[in-house]
Structure 1
């Protein structure tokens, strides 16, 4: 079970340790892929709806942003602690995140025309590139690789938390959040770390199927991958906005 390690909080080793080699129908890679495709359709449909609400100038946009973000966060926590509920809650999570991403994307696109199409293209391009590199064995999820990515991701999480606390006191970090060289460099690093998370997620899903995780882990695995994709998209969107400022 040492293979079941990931910096993604959704796909931890202990999660699979408790359920691997169960009786009955088990997780498959194809089943996970199908469910991931379904979740992406749900997310995109919700995103298109909230994007359209912004274009219409409806006052529901702000509630969609906060409602989607908070609702998605709560659903994610419930799914993490109640994994067996993932077949029922993961579609709801995809919809909540879609509402949030659609409204946020519309706001960014209103300021920087065309940025959303670029961000979507780069996100899926990165996903495909990471999948090809993983399947070809160019990048392997070794223990050292996992430890490095885990440490880097934890550091980014701590930094974002500190930044959020400082903003509550109206203190900003302009050289990181701005469009300068340091700010762009920081965003590039974060995008790279988010992309490397995909390698760990691919490995985790593959190992889950190989070790005989229960069928509902197809939903749980696709949920974990969706979490990483949402993070990657937001970071790419942020990077592109910084580049447009220059």
Structure 2
């Protein structure tokens, strides 16, 4: 996420800042973006289900998971520099990322089967609940994406992104950061902060997608906007899953 300049790693701060001259059926719409998101979501669920099935069939999916994680990051970087490729790369991203999500979910489901048997169901329900709540807060102008709001979210997200990249590097070096996974008080507070930050990124996503539609962005930006929304929702789901696992360990 540190590779981008927005609260959402997929939506740069200047994604929709340039003037467009696209009208009619060739222009981006909010409805079109949501339709594209539906397609990406189904693709994500398809490969997530595949990874889940493989994991419970006895296949060690760890290496495939890391390939999916870094593969998805690579695809996202390409799209950030060449957004016109979104109609082709966004579905590929959904397929690749979905496998990682499925593998991670299978691990948590197995690891917490005895102490939190419904952890995946709870994480999914909470994720969709947060998405709906944030949309309503945005729709009724309870939370607005002011310049100061955007700046704070962007800086905070960049900070978390850098921290996570360092944590991944330390993981491969055999060095762990306890509060990232343990149910200590500080660990739970950290997860709550990150979950809140991911949720607030949804406001930026909704705002930028709506602005793209108003400015007449080209049709391919529907795929890019849908991809951006998927990135945030996946991030939110994984952070909620991590938070629930910490709470389960604490109990």
Same fold flag (TM > 0.5) = yes
Match of 1:192 among 184, 192, 196: 196
Q: Name the SS for the 2:16 alignment partner.
A: helix
Match of 2:221 among 217, 220, 245: 217
Displacement after TM superposition at 1:168 (Å): 4.2
* Deviation by residue 1:75-94 (Cα, 9 ceiling, x = unmatched): 11111111111001111100
Match of 1:156 among 133, 145, 160: 160
Question: CA RMSD, aligned part only?
Answer: 1.7
**Which residue number corresponds to residue 53 of structure 1?**
54
Give me the whole-angstrom Cα distance separating, in 1, the residues matched to 2:10 and 2:127: 20
Is 1:91–2:95 an aligned residue pair?
no
Match of 2:231 among 224, 227, 233: 227
Q: Give the total of aligned pairs.
A: 241
Give me the whole-angstrom Cα distance separating, in 2, the residues matched to 1:153 and 1:133: 20
**Which residue number corresponds to residue 68 of structure 2?**
68
Question: TM-score normalised to the size of structure 1?
Answer: 0.92
Displacement after TM superposition at 1:131 (Å): 0.6
Residue ranges of structure 1 left out of the alignment (5+ in a row): none
Is 1:174–2:178 an aligned residue pair?
yes
Question: TM-score normalised to the size of structure 2?
Answer: 0.90
Is 1:165–2:169 an aligned residue pair?
yes
Instruction: Quickly say closer, same or farther: Cα 1:165–1:121, change in 2 above 3 A.
Output: same
Residue ranges of structure 2 left out of the alignment (5+ in a row): none
Displacement after TM superposition at 1:148 (Å): 1.3
Give me the whole-angstrom Cα distance separating, in 1, the residues matched to 2:12 and 2:171: 31
Is 1:145–2:149 an aligned residue pair?
yes
Give me the whole-angstrom Cα distance separating, in 1, the residues matched to 2:93 and 2:172: 27
Give me the whole-angstrom Cα distance separating, in 2, the residues matched to 1:233 and 1:135: 22
* Deviation by residue 1:143-197 (Cα, 9 ceiling, x = unmatched): 1111111121112112223323333443333244421100000000000000000
Asked if 2 retains the 8 angstrom alpha-carbon contact of 1:176 and 1:182, the reply is: no
**Which residue number corresponds to residue 35 of structure 1?**
36
Asked if 1 retains the 8 angstrom alpha-carbon contact of 2:48 and 2:101, the reply is: yes
Give me the whole-angstrom Cα distance separating, in 2, the residues matched to 1:12 and 1:20: 16
Instruction: Quickly say closer, same or farther: Cα 1:58–1:176, change in 2 above 3 A.
Output: closer
Instruction: Quickly say closer, same or farther: Cα 1:152–1:186, change in 2 above 3 A.
Output: same
Asked if 2 retains the 8 angstrom alpha-carbon contact of 1:69 and 1:100, the reply is: yes
Q: Name the SS for the 1:56 alignment partner.
A: coil
